[in-house]
Homo-oligomer: A and B are copies of this chain.
Amino acid sequence: METRRRLPRAEREPLMLAAARRAFEERGYRDASMDDIAAAAGITKPMLYAYFGSKQGLYEACLEQVTGELIEVLEAGGRRGTDDVAFWHGLLALFDWVEANERAWAFLYLDDRGGPPGLAPVRARSRAVVAAASARLFAESSLRDGISPDVAARAEGVAYALFSAVGGAIEWWLEHPDEPKEMHALRLMNLLWQGLGDLQRGRLWFPPPERRP
């Protein structure tokens, strides 16, 4: 009946984004409905369209927000020390953020399928941005001195693998919350740090020559 209280855009928009993030995180792009999101935000559907244009637009806004937050976390973590300590604090910061944002992680790493085709490049780009940021983190930490140029060129690929490992550990942690998150982080540190250093310093393993009869 009565029209809802008018709010300026700066106040209304974050409410909508928050509701949308929850919905997308919990149910994925396709299963989250604009109806639900509008209801959760306490407004009506046309408002969502007025602010974000389309479902895809809303999703992209969420994705951008999540990406931004994550990068900020990584960079902040990296500043807290040098070398292995920087990496260690980056890991811890990441676990903290995941813990605080519950399943925002899903946005970047669990909801890759579904939605219009136009979404795929957007998602890929978001992940690449995060990978780049974490590559920077390694470079700024241990890679500082004597990084082989070939390795530097491929740092992003390594970062991608590395970040995926972190993602896997996080999922494992979310399903096994009995162990404290520091234990998970420590295991990751031990799994990755040594190889990372070797890669950087060029101390490489190679497969033995195949012997064919």
Interface membership of A184, Cβ < 8 A: yes
Give 1 or 0 for each of A114-144: 1 = CB within 8 Å of chain B CB.
1100000000100000000000000000000
Whose C-beta in chain B lies nearest to the C-beta of A28? Answer: B113
> Counting CB contacts under 8 A, is A195 at the interface?
yes
Tell whether, in the assembled complex, residue B160 and residue A168 are in contact, meaning their CB atoms are under 8 Å apart: yes
Contact of A189 among B124, B164, B205 (CB under 8 A): B205
By a CB distance below 8 angstroms, the chain B residues around A205 are 84, 189-190, 193-194
Bound form: Cα–Cα A110–B169 in Å: 16
For the complex, would chain A's binding face be called helix, strand, loop or mixed by DSSP majority? helix
Interface residues of A in 97-119 (CB under 8 A from B): 106, 110-115
> What residue in chain B is nearest A154 (Cβ atoms)?
B187
- Report the copy number of this chain in the oligomer: 4
> Contact flags (1/0) for A149-175 with B, using CB distance below 8 Å?
000001001101111111111011001
Residues B188 and A161 in contact, CB atoms below 8 Å apart: yes
* Chain B residues, Cβ within 8 Å of A85: 207-208
Residue of B nearest to A24 (CB): B113
Option from B106, B184, B193 in Cβ contact (under 8 Å) with A112: B106
Interface contacts beyond A29-B113, A157-B172: sample of 5 additional A-B pairs, CB < 8 Å, sorted by A: A30-B113, A160-B168, A161-B166, A164-B164, A189-B205
